[in-house]
Amino acid sequence: MLVFFFAQNFVNKSRTNAYNCKRVNCMHNYNFKNMNIKEKFGQKVKQLREEKGFSIEHLANISNVDRNYISDIEKGKRNVSIEVIEKITKGLETDFATFFNDKSFKR
- % helix / strand / coil in the chain, to the nearest 5? 60, 5, 35
| 2-105 is a CATH 3.10.105.10 domain | no
Decide: 9 and 35 in contact? Cβ < 8 Å: no
Q: Bigger pLDDT: 18 or 77?
A: 77
Predicted local confidence at residue 28, as pLDDT: 55
Non-local (6+) Cβ contacts of 26 within 8 A are: 20, 50
pTM of the predicted protein model: 0.69
The 10s digit of each residue's pLDDT in 17-43 is: 445 555 554 545 556 667 788 998 999
